[in-house]
Chain A
């Protein structure tokens, strides 16, 4: 915890005149940090601002992001993305390139960031595939994404993002596209990798129960700002009304992607 891997200070993100993330600050150490908040609260934009890949029309308008001792400006990403920060998106069905074999996608970070030979890369990729839980790495290596299930696809995605040994892994709702039964497995995998490698993990999630079991610390976002920060273990006894409302609003498959009920919204008006 003493080791600060990522320091975000007063980050603002805007689309035209609309401020979407309004000046948030936090740090990430060698830990599992969760960011929660209702849909549209700016979690994904925060994550994408950190890796410098905001959608077209959306810009980082202020603030400071430091990765270790390197200041991340809006340009100059050489050797950062894929090498020092990994990013796992939500749905492996769209996040994996349908035209490339899985092995190639897992190796790509090594192609971009290492001088390993093709044989060494392959070995590392097979090893990585094994670590993320493919019983037959050789076969997975040759498979196209369309030939594996969603859960296995997400494992491959994680392998691709961890293979270059990043300091920090950002996972944006990595389990919400998966069946309930698979979610814990993927989280266990992420947790195991975090503990083994000593990297930091930022987990963006809707599911507070999941977060309470899994994370060390929790940041709560609402309308682009951080309204609460607490230890994951304290979630059930949260003091902040918004955090309490989130805790009570059991997210389910049916309510995924929707906003909180009106009633909660109203009680939360500042």
Chain B
């Protein structure tokens, strides 16, 4: 929701800096540097979450032993948690634990947080992936056509769509969709991921409802999975669409003013050929970055959307943990979504750097 246009263009700039780098020192060094920067960013994320636990007004010892524990039980638990050690040591231990995938015990579910996340993450991934496919396809199409007919009706429509997408509260849009398409029109099923009928009989193979229901061979189950996915995916897609439309329009429009476009037209290429054959290869890097950034931001947007649609993903897990005051689960989910976000963004940078090699001047 906070990813603005200029934000993304600065990321594109960062990406192109990476490209320049790989040209000068060779790809090997670039990858090493890339790894270093990813590691540092992830380290920063862990540090921030650790700082949150220390700033929290909730006493982790009391949370463990309960309000009525004796002073000696309290002291023993405190010792066991290592809270008597210097902060640096505590952080070191935290880092090692997180590094081993130990995110603690969720008080709300009674399960290890890592296990909870492993169970819920696939639902989020499924939702975000379907949404980005819809959002990227329509956003790129709209952005490209808006650039080709800049100043025309489609351009104006694209501008309105992206303004609305940038301004609309995503959770509210989800509610409106439910009201309209579920309660009033009965076009879509209500919240959830599957009809109750299938929910408990389905054997989870991959964790992706679309695939699992398809494997189950029950047509009704698959239909139910698709139907439940449509509304939340459309909401998230619109959220992605806003940025993708606007940024891809800008990228293509800039290229259309280049002289090689004039040359191509002088050879007799029509407007569509100019865009698809000549311009697009020159903007794959930026477009890739734009879509990947939108994908990453969908992981964030999933928190609110999943809550509205009772979608059993990591975002909903996080909000349930918020209500329960379950610190371990909140931090675990934050670390996981945050790491995925950071990795996705960094991988894009690297991919852009690789595809750009060798042919740009």
Contacts and interface: CB of A to CB of B under 8 A. Distances in A.
| Direct contact, A vs B (beta carbon within 8 Å) | yes
B360 to A, nearest CB: 6
Q: Interface of chain B, helix or strand or loop or mixed?
A: helix
A108 B359 contact: no
A148 to B, nearest CB: 10
Interface in B250-277: 258-260, 262-269, 273
A86 B263 CA distance: 9
Given A89-B259, A94-B260, A99-B282, A161 B361 contact: no
A224 interface: no
Interface residues on A, range: 20 to 34
Given A53-B262, A144-B359, A81 B268 contact: yes
Given A77-B268, A97-B282, A87 B263 contact: yes
A79 B361 CA distance: 32
A38 to B, nearest CB: 22
A146 B281 contact: no
A97 B264 contact: yes
A91 B266 contact: no
Contact of A99 (B259, B266, B281): B281
Interface residues of B, number: 19
A83 interface: yes
B267 A109 contact: yes
A94 B282 CA distance: 13
Interface in A154-170: 157, 160-161
Interface centre among B258, B278, B359 (most CB of A within 10 A): B359
Contacts of A109: 267-268
A99 B359 contact: yes
A94 B259 contact: yes
A160 B267 contact: yes
B358 interface: yes
A183 interface: no
Interface centre among A80, A99, A161 (most CB of B within 10 A): A99
A98 B282 contact: yes
Contacts of A145: 361
Given A89-B259, A144-B358, A145-B361, A97 B278 contact: yes
Interface of A: 51, 53, 77, 79-83, 85-87, 89, 91, 93-100, 108-109, 112-113, 144-146, 157, 160-161
